[in-house]
Amino acid sequence: MRMSRALLALPAAALFLAFPGVAHADESVQVQLQDLNETGASGTATLTATSGGDLKVMIRSRGMTPNSPHAQHVHGAANGMDFHCPDKSADTNGNGYVSTEEGLPMYGDIFISLTTTGDTTKASGLAVDRMPKADARGNLSYERTIPASDLPKGTIEHLKDLHLVQHGIDANKNGKYDMEALGESTFAKSIGVNGIPAEATDPATCGMVSGAAAGSVPAGGVATGDGSTSGGSPTMIYTMGGLALLGAAGAVVARRRFAGER
């Protein structure tokens, strides 16, 4: 009785254990960073969800304002809202540039600030001293793993609903962010930071998810068979048959011997 109860409980336990802790799959999401304000900037990013729930971010972009910091964020939300990267039609004030504020309704609020060190919340959105700098040729390279505990709830589950935005353009091509080009950043002002040029906060690239891959890749092929049926190891089966035949022959011989001894 106790035995059969245990047996009955087994499938239920197996079902429960089928996906232990699998709230999400490990996966690597590919993001294509596209030029937003005709600065010629572009790039690629990979967001990898690790089995521990951390987020590994890797960004490579080029055509960025050289020797300058570029504020960069994951935008969007984990509530299933359908955000997109804006196109030129988002330039509501018609100054020829899509600003951060003009883009926000399309790509959503700052979800994670992709700083090089320290805090990664929205509060660090304009912490340019902790944002990556493009090199003298305008190439920007960024890598950071953000621990699970620092990620907003639902980040990993909604990785594919999020967008990446890199800010900082050089509209008047004088090699720096300055007030002369596009004036002061009203976006920075709106969050209480004065004296920041609009060039520093206007988006350069916006990235949308273009693909996804396995989060970790198994080595080699898959051992999905042991040859235990027909297609497998006939040798073993022939051996068994042969042994049985030998046994039969032995039995016949033994019987003859008995008959002879009689």
Partner 1 sequence: MDTGDPQVPAGRRPGRYALLAAAGILTVTAVLTIGVAVANRGGNPTRPDASAAAPAANAPPVPVTRPGELTSGPLMANSPPTRVSIPSLRASAAIVALGLRADGAMQVPDSAADVGWFTRAPTPGALGPAVLAGHVDWKGHRGTFFDLGKLTVGAGITVERQDGGTAMFTVTKVEQYPKDRFPTDEVYGATDHAALRLITCGGEFDDTTRHYRDNVIVYARLAHAHPA
In the complex, the residues that contact partner 1 under the rule CB under 8 A are 18-20, 22, 24-30, 32, 51, 80, 84-85, 87, 157, 160, 208-235, 237-238, 240-242, 244-245, 247-252, 254-255, 257-259, 261-262
142-176 core/surface letters (b: 16 or more CB in 10 A; e: else):
beeebeeeebeebbbebbebbbbbbbbbbbeeeeb
Least distance between partner 1 and beta carbon 248 (Å): 4
Residue 3 burial (CB count, 10 A): 7
Nearer to partner 1, 7 or 136 (CB): 7
Nearer to partner 1, 1 or 17 (CB): 17
Nearer to partner 1, 78 or 193 (CB): 78
Least distance between partner 1 and beta carbon 164 (Å): 12
Least distance between partner 1 and beta carbon 192 (Å): 34
Residue 210 burial (CB count, 10 A): 13
Nearer to partner 1, 24 or 189 (CB): 24
Q: Which residues, 6+ apart, have CB-to-CB distance to 26 below 8 Å?
A: 48, 49, 50, 51, 214, 215, 216
Least distance between partner 1 and beta carbon 239 (Å): 9
Cβ–Cβ < 8 Å for 111, 75? yes
